[in-house]
A and B are shown apart, each in its own frame.
Chain A
Amino acid sequence: MLLNDTRYRSLTLQAIAAILLALSLGYIVSNLLANLAAQDLNISFEFLGSPAGYDINQTLIDYTSQSSNMRAAVVGIINTLLVAFLACITATVFGVIAGVLRLSNNWLVAKLMSFYVEIFRNIPVLIWILIIYTIMTAVMPGARSYLGDDPDIDLLGGLFAFTNRGVYIPAPFFTSGIGGEEGSVINWLIVIAALFGSLFATRFMTARANKIQEDTGVRPNTLFINLAIWLVPLVVLAFILGLSWDIPDPLANRFNLRGGIQIGAPLIALWFALSIYTGAFIAENVRAGIQAVSKGQTEAASALGLRPNRTMSLVVLPQALRVIIPPLISQYLNITKNSSLAIAVGYADITATLGGITLNQTGRAIECVLLLMLFYLTISLLISAVMNVYNNAMKLKER
C-alpha cells in the first residue's frame, strides 16, 4: 500500500503541512488587512518623505527639523551602527582580558574576574544603562562649571572637559586640505586610504620576515620599519593637509561648551553599559574556548621551550578562537539588538527616531515597526555573514 511507503508518506504529510501553513498565514494576513480596513487604516509609506519636524541631539550627517522622516531614520541608523560598532570592539577587549585573566594562577586576579563576570552578566543591561547614566549626570560637574572667564573648573590640559552632558574633546580639522577651511570628507578618505596602505605594507613586511625566518632561521627585526610605515605617511599627510585642532571653547556660549567633538552622556552610558555587560559573556566564551584546548598542547609547548605568554598567543589562542568565534557572533548580534534600549537614556538610535518620535508624530505604527524589523534583520544577517567569513578563515584547515 502506498501509505506504508515511507518516502511517499513523509512527502505527502509534509506537503499537506506546508499547504496548511501557507493557508493559515494567508488567512492571518488577509484578516489583518480586513481589520485594518475596518478601522479605516491603510498601509502607506508616504510619511517617510514629509518633514520630520523634530530635532535630534546627535547627528553625524546634516539634519535639521525640516529634513524628512527618512533622513531622521538614517540619522538613527548611523547612531545605532556607531554605538554597536564601538561596543563590539570594547566588549571584545574587556571579554578577552577578563576571560584570560579568569584562568590566571593568581588567586586574587582570578577571583576579581569571576566577580566581574557574575555581577555584570546577572543584572539586566537596561539597569546597567540607567545606573551608569544616572551616575554620570549626578556625579559629573555641570556644564556651566567650565564656562566663563573665570570657570570653577579649567579644561583638563586646556583640551578636555568632562561634564554631566558628555565629554568634550578637541576635533581635528584640515586648514589646507581639499575644500579649504570648511574641509571636505575627501580629506578624511585620503587619511583612511593611507591607513589601509600602511596596514597592507606592514602585513607584507611581516610575511617577508616570516619567509626569511623559515629560510635562514633568523628573524629580521620588523618593529621599527613597521612603526615607520604607520607613522611617516600620517605625519606627512598631517603636514600637507595642515592638520589643526578645534578646542572646546568655554567663552562662546553661556549654557554649553562650543566647538570640539562632544561625546554625549547618553552615548557614553549606552556604549559603556553594553561593553561591560556583553564583555562578561564574551569572557565566559573566551574561558570556555581556552579550556577546550587540551592541556597536552600547553605542556608540549613548554616542553619545546616556549615561554607562557608565547604559548598563549601562538598555541592556545589560535586553537581556542575556533571555539570562541561562533558564540562571539551571537554576542555581537546581541549588542546590536540591545542598543535599541538607547531610548532609556535619550540616545537617538533608529528605535528612538523612526520607532519612537516618527511613529508617534505620524501615528504610522505598523509601517514604522515593519521598517524597524527589516533594519534589525538586515543588519543582524550582515554581521552574521561577515563573522562567518572570519570563522571560515579561522577554522581547522583539513589537509
Chain B
Amino acid sequence: MNKSVIFGALTIAGLTAGAAAAATLDDVKARGKLNCGVTTGLVGFAAPDANGEWKGFDVAVCRAVAAAVLGDATAVEFVPTTGKTRFTALASGEIDMLARNTTWTFSRDVDLKFDFVGVNYYDGQGFLVPKSLGVSSAKDLDGATVCIQTGTTTELNLADFFRANNISYEPVPIETNAEGTQQYLAGACDTYTTDASGLAATRATFENPGDHMLLPEIVSKEPLGPLVRHGDNEWGDIVRWTLNALITAEELGVSSANVAEMATSTNNPEVARLLGTEGTLGEMLGLDAEWAKRAIETQGNYGEIFATNIGEDTPIGLARGLNAQWTDGGLLYSPPFR
C-alpha cells in the first residue's frame, strides 16, 4: 500500500510539473526571479567575476529581460549549463530562457521545439593554435589532434570541414571550456576549435596570449542567440523584443547615460514608443510602459554591452565586424518599434 501512495504522490508531482510549463511570464512574476541558462564560464560572455557576480555579454541579455519583466536587473538566477545539458534544462522548464552562445540551426528550432528569438552575436567557427606549431591555415591540420566541445554544432562542422578537404584528424571531446583550455595548454591537442569569439575570449585568459593565434579560416556560420521553449509565444515575444530594444536603442542613439533624459525630451516618435512615453507597446507585451527603458537603463544599449564585455578595449578584444548596426555595414537590424 505504501508503494501506491508514493506512486500517487509522484504522479501528482508529474502533473503539476506538466501544467507549470504553460505561462512562463506568470511563473517568472510569481517567483520574482528569472531563471536564465548561461555557460559554465566563458569570460566576456558569461562568467562570475571576482565578487561572484555574473558578468558578460549573454548575462546582460538575461539581466535586461529581468529588468523589463520584474523591474530588477539583479533578480536573475543564473543556471550554468554545459553544451549537453542546456537543451534539456530549457525543455524541462528548469530555466525560462537560454542565453548561452547557442547557434540557431534548423533542427534545433524545428525538431528540438525551441524558438530562437533573434541573434545577439554573429559568429563563425575558428581554430586556435600555438604559434610554435607553424601552421598558417586550417587546411594544414592534416593528422592533427583537435580539442572540441562535445554536443555543439562545432562538432558537426569540424567533421564536415575535414571531410570536405579530405584530411584526417583525431577528435578529443571535452565537456567545458575550462577543460578544453587545460587540455590545449597541456598539449594534449594541437588545436582547439569552437566559435571564434569564444576562442578570442579563451585566449585572453592565457598567461601568454601572444603565443597563440586564430587561423584565418572561419569554417561555419554561427548565429548565436537567446532561445525559449516552443509554445509560449507571449514569453518568446518578451525576450525577442527586449533584445530588439537593446539593438534599436543603439541605432537610435539611446544609451544608459541619456535614456532618462531622452524619455522625457525626445522628439523622435520611435524613441518615445520604445521608452514608453508614447503608445502602448509595453501593455501589448503584458508588461508596463517602461519595460524597455529599464532594460536600457540598467544594461546599456547593444553597443555599450558589446564594448564593456567583449569589445576592443577589453582583454577579449573583439571588433564589431558583422555585429555592427546595419547602418554601419553590419548585420544587426531590428524590426521597427511600431
Contact = CB atoms under 8 A, between A and B. Distances in A.
- Most chain B beta carbons < 10 A, residue from A28, A34, A253, A363: A363
Contacts of B91: 39
Interface residues of A, number: 50
B87 interface: yes
Contacts of B308: none
Contacts of A27: 7, 11
B175 interface: yes
Nearest to A360: B151
Interface in B153-197: 155-156, 158-160, 162-163, 169-175, 182-183, 186-190
Given A53-B156, A363-B87, A255 B144 contact: yes
Contact of B173 (A34, A41, A57): A57
B163 A39 contact: no
A64 B155 CA distance: 13
Nearest to A142: B187
A164 B142 CA distance: 19
Interface in A6-31: 17, 20-21, 24-25, 27-28, 31
A290 to B, nearest CB: 42
A388 interface: no
A255 B143 contact: yes
A137 B183 contact: yes
A346 interface: yes
Contact of A356 (B11, B151, B158, B163): B151
B159 A54 contact: yes
B87 A25 contact: no
B143 A137 contact: no
B155 A54 contact: yes
A155 B171 CA distance: 24
A77 B230 CA distance: 34
A20 B4 contact: yes
Interface in A52-82: 53-57, 64-66
A184 interface: no
Contacts of A253: 142-143
A55 B169 contact: yes
Interface stretch (B14-22, B202-210, B322-330): B14-22
B188 A137 contact: yes
A39 B107 CA distance: 17
B262 interface: no
- Most chain A beta carbons < 10 A, residue from B155, B175, B187, B188: B188
A63 to B, nearest CB: 11
A360 B15 contact: no
Nearest to B88: A365
Given A54-B159, A57-B170, A363-B87, A138 B186 contact: yes
Contacts of B187: 137, 142-144, 164
A54 B171 CA distance: 9
Nearest to A347: B173
B4 A24 contact: yes
Given A41-B113, A360-B84, A25 B7 contact: yes
A17 B21 CA distance: 34
Nearest to B108: A363
B188 A165 contact: yes
Contacts of B216: none
Contact of B11 (A28, A64, A137, A346): A28
Contacts of B158: 55
Nearest to A130: B179
A281 to B, nearest CB: 27
A164 B15 contact: no
A20 B7 CA distance: 10
A84 to B, nearest CB: 20
B213 to A, nearest CB: 16
Interface in B67-114: 83-84, 87-88, 91, 107-108, 111-113
Contacts of B10: 28
A352 interface: yes
B338 interface: no
B1 interface: yes
A344 interface: yes
A38 B18 contact: yes
A248 to B, nearest CB: 13
A339 B91 CA distance: 28
Interface string A165-192: 1000000000000000000000000000
B8 A344 contact: no
B159 A344 contact: no
Nearest to B86: A360
A337 interface: no
B141 interface: yes
Nearest to A145: B187
A138 B175 CA distance: 18
B313 to A, nearest CB: 34
Given A31-B15, A165-B145, A348 B186 contact: no
Given A21-B3, A35-B18, A255-B190, A54 B175 contact: no
A360 B172 contact: no
B171 A258 contact: no
Contacts of A357: 150-151, 155, 173
Contacts of A363: 87, 107-108, 111-112
Interface string A346-359: 10100010001101
Given A28-B10, A137-B183, A361-B151, A255 B145 contact: yes
B231 interface: yes
Q: Rank and list the top 8 A-B pairs by shortest CB-CB distance, nearest first.
A: A360-B151, A65-B159, A24-B7, A253-B143, A142-B187, A363-B112, A255-B144, A137-B188
Interface of A: 17, 20-21, 24-25, 27-28, 31-32, 34-35, 38-41, 53-57, 64-66, 134, 137-138, 142-144, 164-165, 253-256, 258, 265, 343-344, 346, 348, 352, 356-357, 359-363, 365
Given A55-B159, A346-B172, 17 more contacts: A25-B7, A28-B10, A28-B14, A40-B231, A53-B159, A55-B169, A64-B163, A65-B159, A137-B187, A343-B150, A346-B150, A348-B173, A360-B83, A361-B155, A363-B108, A363-B111, A365-B88
25 contacts: A20-B3, A21-B3, A28-B11, A53-B156, A53-B160, A55-B158, A56-B171, A57-B170, A65-B159, A137-B187, A137-B188, A138-B186, A255-B141, A255-B142, A255-B144, A256-B170, A258-B143, A265-B188, A348-B173, A352-B150, A356-B173, A360-B151, A362-B111, A363-B87, A365-B88
